[in-house]
């Protein structure tokens, strides 16, 4: 049997901050339509891992592949791996979307301008085309009426929905979410989870760091549990939630779920 090429594959990823080795050899593959939730205690390396995939942080060792094509990296004089060219970075950042805990909308631009900026500049879309796509995406995430508002005029939940729409506007093949609801007031968490659930149902390929364990269990087809920079446990939601093999994973589940 020939296995399909993963949308994203990582082999033996390592990352240190000074003497502190934060990622100690992470290997993971996401196939088309996979929704992989990454769980683990604070400090276990979840954010660093996601950020390395997008080269927001530079790994020190390892290989990253998108649709079978290896990301070309070379070590700088500190030993950190950098993209070989800006073109490579641009390609990467269009293929892989990133949704931050803190939304990171551009504060000086309207919501609509936040959505059309990168498609126009990077994807070379016409203004009319970018606006048409942006308006459809804002409607999809339920904030069409906010298109001329500025980020500080929106609630946290609305800002995060705008940030997700902005990510979708780049037509990424894979979307990375780093605790997308952690900065939100409790009453706004569900509206954002609802949008992410819709994307999962559309068959989007996603990696999601979250502490919303019920949600992770419902939307993911794979759960990965990080501990001290390594994958300690991995499996289907049923396996990891109901029959965790490692004691640490068992403890984490029982204290958070
Ligand atoms: P998680 O997202 O699982 O909470 P992180 O990836 O944020 O974990 O952090 C993993 C470890 O790396 C922690 O010990 C953290 O203090 C450290 N770390 C993260 N970012 C930096 C940085 N920019 N400089 C130094 N240490 C960092
Ligand atoms: Mg984190």
Distance 193 CA to ligand 2 centre (A): 18
| Residue 210, ligand 1, Cβ within 6 A | no
Q: What is the pLDDT of residue 159?
A: 98
- Lookup: tokens for 200: 């999962």
Closest CA to ligand 1's atom 18? 17
Answer yes or no: are the C-beta atoms of 185 and 179 closer than 8 Å.
no
| Each residue's pLDDT tens digit, 142-185 | 999 999 999 999 999 999 999 999 999 999 999 999 999 999 99
Q: How confident is the model at residue 255 (pLDDT cuts 50, 70, 90)?
A: confident
Query: Which tokens hold the place of 81?
Result: 């791996």
Render pLDDT for 57-110 as a digit per residue (tens, 0 to 9): 999 999 999 999 999 999 999 999 999 998 888 889 889 999 999 999 999 999
- Ligand 2 center from residue 46 Cα (angstroms): 5
Query: Measuring from atom 25 of ligand 1, which residue has the nearest CA?
Result: 17
Taking the CA of residue 51 as reference, the ligand 1 atom at the shortest distance is 6
pTM score, two decimals? 0.96
> What is the number of the ligand closest to the CA of 22?
1
């Amino acid at each position: 049997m020939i296995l399909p090429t993963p949308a994203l594959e990582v082999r033996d990823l390592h990352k240190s901050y000074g003497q502190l080795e934060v990622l100690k050899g992470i290997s993971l593959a996401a196939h088309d339509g996979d929704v992989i939730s990454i769980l683990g205690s604070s400090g276990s390396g979840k954010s660093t891992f996601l950020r390395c995939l997008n080269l927001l942080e530079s790994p020190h060792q390892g290989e990253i592949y998108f649709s079978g094509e290896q990301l070309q990296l070379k070590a700088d004089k500190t030993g950190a791996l950098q993209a070989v060219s800006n073109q490579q970075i641009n390609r990467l950042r269009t293929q892989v979307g990133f949704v931050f805990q803190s939304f990171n909308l551009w504060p000086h631009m309207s919501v609509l301008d936040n959505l059309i900026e990168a498609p126009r500049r990077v994807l070379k879309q016409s203004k009319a085309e970018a606006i048409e796509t942006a308006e459809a995406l804002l409607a999809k995430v339920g904030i069409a009426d906010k298109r001329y508002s500025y980020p500080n005029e929106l609630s946290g939940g609305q800002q995060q929905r705008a940030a997700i729409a902005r990510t979708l506007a780049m037509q990424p093949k894979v979307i990375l979410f780093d605790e997308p609801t952690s900065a939100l007031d409790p009453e706004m968490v569900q509206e954002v989870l609802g949008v992410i659930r819709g994307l999962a149902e559309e068959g989007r390929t996603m990696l999601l760091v979250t502490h919303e364990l019920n949600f992770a269990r419902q939307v993911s087809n794979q759960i990965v549990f990080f501990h001290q920079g390594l994958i300690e446990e991995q499996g289907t939601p049923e396996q990891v939630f109901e029959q965790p093999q490692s004691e640490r994973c068992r403890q984490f589940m029982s204290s958070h779920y």
